[in-house]
Chain A
């Protein structure tokens, strides 16, 4: 099993969800996060006081998929999340040791 952790532009979330649904992936966890890589932030001014906002809003998607489907998911995800500009985000992939469905103790890929 692989855990896929993708940090994407918030406005791309709907497209990414549609793309994943299209290939039959419907389990995922989403959180609103802030961060930055090479993308620079922006300047805000409140009554003359300047603020450099360098931590920008992003969305983090986490999902665990069978290793055999990992490549396919990554392809769909990148295609849907890409604008081609700085700030599109990153994807990290991890090996997962175990998965358990709390409701009925299913283990491994059948718990996904």
Chain B
């Protein structure tokens, strides 16, 4: 009887304890499920934005840049010029898949990646936490590919209307290996020499490609213009843009696409992406005004070509700064870029007499260098707290944060990009010159690239 009473008492007491333990387990499981759900929701949001950004950046090359450049050349070269941009969308993609992505983002060495991701091995839907921990590595890979496409395409503006298609293809393939892949690895690759966030020796801030994209392409463009020489008849019989309406359309597509370029470089749908989006837009707006007003005062009329050139100059200059600066410094950077690039293409080009036909150097080389240097001035941890000390406090970034030494770091970054572009491009031009020959023949140049290189015409009105 006493045993029975004991058993009853035990049962009475133990039931709530067991129930409590079970409830605890239940909460833990629910918490874990909630955590997984939150992560997957963030991943879904980030991935959606990054896929859209990748598409926006591709849109900058085709149709954006193809239209922009296509309208600036003579009618007989419109297809040849558009084809230069378009074919790079195909060529660089293949290079990227085979080794390009791996040489930029594989391995922790200072100057060039390794073959860990060659043939896109180990690149799947799992994130690569070194670069972007919330999106599939494949998204990161294809997003970065779009940068590798547009960068060489920008160079085409310098040798427009006179380069052989075959030589241009060889040049671009070699240029990716000798200039773009090393530079992109140095600035953005893990352990890269200039990578400020992933263990570089010299911390250079380049949010979306001031050094990697615009200095490399712009400076290489200048070398191409000097090496190839002027177009026939330049500058005694200069040629007008044949269709500013398509150039205008292209520039507007570039402006929109640039949101993917800069805001996408946050690699997440984050507050930093918003900040970069705002800075990008403000930089473009101020540079448009800077160029147009400078031109209005200087030559008497505010031209449409001036407006669209200014917007591109501003977008170039704000690119390295976009994820580091507040809106008003962005306006200031844009304004400087508009005026400086205007003077580059009107005064400096005329003074030295090189035929940078579509001003790839005047806009991308000059604007990129200006933007990269000003990033060292205006970068602030109030916008980007990615750099932290051992205690987890955000480190000061640029001169405005009291870190004046950053301007020197930016100088070094620009210097390396300039030297790499000059030396690499000279070597490649020499190789192409000796093997294929760089320039089309004189009769071909007179006939135009459309017919002589591609066997077709851009505008056929009688059919």
Restricting to B374-403, which residues have a CB under 8 Å from any CB of A? none
A31 within 8 Å of B (CB atoms): no
A51 within 8 Å of B (CB atoms): yes
Interface centre among A44, A46, A48, A49, by most chain B C-beta atoms within 10 angstroms, is A48
B39 within 8 Å of A (CB atoms): no
The segment out of B209-217, B298-306, B439-447 that lies at the interface is: B298-306
Shortest Cβ distance from residue A82 to the other chain B in the assembled complex, whole angstroms:
30
Chain B residues with CB under 8 A of A49: 235, 238
CB <8 Å contact, B240 and A46: yes
What would be 10 A-B contacts, judged by CB atoms less than 8 Å apart? A46-B241, A46-B303, A47-B309, A47-B345, A47-B359, A48-B295, A48-B346, A49-B235, A49-B238, A51-B240
A51 to B305, alpha carbons, bound, how many Å?
14
Restricting to A51-87, which residues have a CB under 8 Å from any CB of B? 51
The contact string, 1 if C-beta is below 8 Å from chain A, for chain B 224-242, is 0000000000010010110
Chain A residue nearest in CB terms to B305: A46
A46 to B305, alpha carbons, bound, how many Å?
7
Interface of chain B, main secondary structure? helix
Chain B residues with CB under 8 A of A47: 305-306, 309, 345-346, 359
Chain A residues with CB under 8 A of B299: 45, 48
Total cross-chain contacts (CB, 8 A): 27
CB <8 Å contact, A45 and B238: no
A46 to B239, alpha carbons, bound, how many Å?
10
B23 within 8 Å of A (CB atoms): no
B29 within 8 Å of A (CB atoms): no
Chain A residues with CB under 8 A of B34: none
Restricting to B345-366, which residues have a CB under 8 Å from any CB of A? 345-347, 349-350, 359
Chain B residue nearest in CB terms to A49: B238
Shortest Cβ distance from residue B230 to the other chain A in the assembled complex, whole angstroms:
13
Shortest Cβ distance from residue B68 to the other chain A in the assembled complex, whole angstroms:
13
CB <8 Å contact, A45 and B301: yes
Chain A residues with CB under 8 A of B235: 49
Closest 10 CB pairs of A and B: A48-B346, A47-B345, A45-B299, A49-B238, A46-B305, A51-B240, A46-B240, A46-B241, A48-B345, A47-B305
Chain B residues with CB under 8 A of A46: 240-241, 303, 305
Interface centre among A44, A47, A48, by most chain B C-beta atoms within 10 angstroms, is A47
A68 to B202, alpha carbons, bound, how many Å?
91
Restricting to A11-67, which residues have a CB under 8 Å from any CB of B? 44-49, 51
The contact string, 1 if C-beta is below 8 Å from chain A, for chain B 289-321, is 000000100110101011001000000000000
A49 to B241, alpha carbons, bound, how many Å?
11
A48 to B301, alpha carbons, bound, how many Å?
11
Chain A residues with CB under 8 A of B347: 48
Shortest Cβ distance from residue A96 to the other chain B in the assembled complex, whole angstroms:
29
Chain B residue nearest in CB terms to A47: B345
A80 to B462, alpha carbons, bound, how many Å?
32
Shortest Cβ distance from residue B190 to the other chain A in the assembled complex, whole angstroms:
41
A49 to B298, alpha carbons, bound, how many Å?
12
A44 to B305, alpha carbons, bound, how many Å?
12
Chain B residues with CB under 8 A of A44: 240
Chain A residues with CB under 8 A of B301: 45
A51 to B236, alpha carbons, bound, how many Å?
11
Given contacts A47-B346, A48-B342, A49-B235, 12 further A-B contacts (CB under 8 A): A44-B240, A45-B301, A46-B240, A46-B241, A46-B305, A47-B305, A47-B306, A48-B295, A48-B298, A48-B346, A48-B347, A49-B238
